[in-house]
Amino acid sequence: MTHTQKMSTVCLALTSAALFSFCSKQALTQINGQQNMLTSNKTTTTAQILSSTWETVTDGSSLTNYTSFESEWNYLYPWGSDHNGTARMYGSSTDHSQIYLNGDGSLTLKATYHPDSTLNSFDPKIPIHYHSGTIYSKHQVLIDSIFPYWEISVDLQAPTALGTWPAFWITAVNSWPPESDIVEVKGSTSIWQNTYDGNWQTKLTTVNNAATTWHHYKAVYNRLKNTNGSWSNSVECQYFIDGAITSVQVGNNFANAPFWLIIDLQMEAASGSPGPQTDTYFKVKNVVMRKGKTPFDPNASYKLVNVNSGQVLAVPSASTTQGVTLIQWPWLGGTEQQWQIGDQGSGYYALTNRNSGQLVDVKNASTTQGTAVIQWPSTGGNNQMWQISRVGNGIYNFKNRNSGLALDMANASKAQGDTAIQWPYQSGANQQWQIISQQ
């Protein structure tokens, strides 16, 4: 949901394989400059989205009953009950006056005219006129190098009367901006789809029966690459209504920033006033979140940084001898500290040292906890294959295909030179890693 109440937009038509409408708050010359920069420095990878492996985060059934709902969603905003309109949010596991399930797989957010003697706690601290509802997902969106593609979709009946301000949007957890509004309705039949990274890009599409008929809205987020093949921090935001693409926008500094997904029914402010004094209803169903990944770039080099120690996985003394036990060591940039990640199929990867050409291996294919992790020439064995799973906020774990045990720094040590082992996964920081591209 936009944090400004008035916005003038300038639209620019971009022609590629299709004609998209790209709207920005900036002057036309600034948009042209941004377009040229993106053309010369970034490459889109829409085809990679289509060929990527998708994992479902939320499958659309979360609104069927309160058990499912409360396992997937939180009541109110992440920061509390107030935001930038005249509605104060109410809702809990015991209060469904403003937030309730309909028994058919859909959810209703209800705004009730209820003037309050207190002011909104957000600037400019306008009076509260309504009680309403909002929820946010317990699953954060993180567009990174492991899951560079995300798709978020929903079916909505969104009110369009003057003073009603429903929205379905993502906003950054740690700072603002960035923000992406998949659907925002501000007191009219215009559907706003916006990207904010310090500058606004906006597309308006008229949907005359948005309040009375179910419509399908979707955003696809695609992390962009620079022309040299390295990941950029920019993300292409593709917006859709009823299966038709409406706009392609670019959010700078969207990558590696966790987002909340929020569904709310704010009132007045940017949507105009006075708002209705009768109840207003915002209906929601079929919320689906998916994240997509493609095989790691086989030509890229990665450093694996242990979360506990801040040191990287390395081959000691840059050895090329098979069977040497791997260690942690402060990052020096040597190839003995760099790894290539090769897709082995079925969600498993081989980790190859750039210096020795040997693989991360569990010694003797052991399934015993505490066994050393070594380098060894490729054999194709399951003890050389690793499942990579995201823990959250750019952090991952590695589990061996043969043993099911995790790549671990022994005794949670922070000392340089201590050895890597396999151990049952216990969510320890010594079992968690950052994967950072060196391209």
Residue 135 is part of a domain; what is its CATH number? 2.60.120.200
Tell me the pLDDT tens digit for each residue of 4-14: 333 322 232 22
Domains of the chain: total: 2
Answer yes or no: do 54 and 186 share one domain.
Answer: yes
Answer yes or no: do 267 and 399 share one domain.
Answer: no
- 343, part of any domain: yes
Answer yes or no: do 34 and 180 share one domain.
Answer: yes
Residue 342 pLDDT grade (very low, low, confident, very high; cuts 50, 70, 90): confident
Tell me the pLDDT tens digit for each residue of 112-144: 999 988 899 988 899 999 999 999 999 999 999
**pLDDT score of 61 more than 60:** yes
Catalytic residue among 72, 184, 268, 336: 184
- 165, part of any domain: yes
Residue 91 pLDDT grade (very low, low, confident, very high; cuts 50, 70, 90): very high
Active site (annotated) includes residue 179: yes
Tell me the pLDDT tens digit for each residue of 150-197: 999 999 999 999 999 999 999 999 999 999 999 999 999 999 999 999
**pLDDT score of 357 more than 90:** yes
The stretch 377-397 carries a mean pLDDT of 87
- 3, part of any domain: no
Residue 272 pLDDT grade (very low, low, confident, very high; cuts 50, 70, 90): very high
Mean residue pLDDT across the chain:
87
Tell me the pLDDT tens digit for each residue of 16-54: 222 222 232 222 222 222 322 332 234 433 334 444 578
pLDDT for residue 32: 28
**pLDDT score of 262 more than 60:** yes
The stretch 211-239 carries a mean pLDDT of 89
- 2, part of any domain: no
The stretch 327-345 carries a mean pLDDT of 93
Answer yes or no: do 306 and 288 share one domain.
Answer: no
Answer yes or no: do 264 and 286 share one domain.
Answer: yes
Answer yes or no: do 189 and 269 share one domain.
Answer: yes
- 5, part of any domain: no
Q: What's the domain range around 388?
A: 302-437
Last residue of one domain, picked from the residues 233, 266, 293:
293
Catalytic residue among 72, 151, 179, 268: 179
pLDDT for residue 52: 57
Answer yes or no: do 254 and 348 share one domain.
Answer: no
Answer yes or no: do 167 and 228 share one domain.
Answer: yes
Residue 393 pLDDT grade (very low, low, confident, very high; cuts 50, 70, 90): low
Answer yes or no: do 258 and 311 share one domain.
Answer: no
Last residue of one domain, picked from the residues 267, 293, 319:
293
- 408, part of any domain: yes
Answer yes or no: do 238 and 332 share one domain.
Answer: no
Answer yes or no: do 59 and 107 share one domain.
Answer: yes
Last residue of one domain, picked from the residues 293, 319, 350:
293
Answer yes or no: do 225 and 327 share one domain.
Answer: no
The percent of residues above 90 in pLDDT, for the chain, comes to 75
Q: Where does residue 198 fall: left (phi above 0), alpha (psi -120 to 50 degrees), or beta otherwise? A: left
Residue 348 pLDDT grade (very low, low, confident, very high; cuts 50, 70, 90): confident
Task: Supply the pTM of this predicted model.
Answer: 0.63
Residue 376 is part of a domain; what is its CATH number? 2.80.10.50
- 46, part of any domain: yes
Residue 295 pLDDT grade (very low, low, confident, very high; cuts 50, 70, 90): low
Active site (annotated) includes residue 336: no
- 156, part of any domain: yes
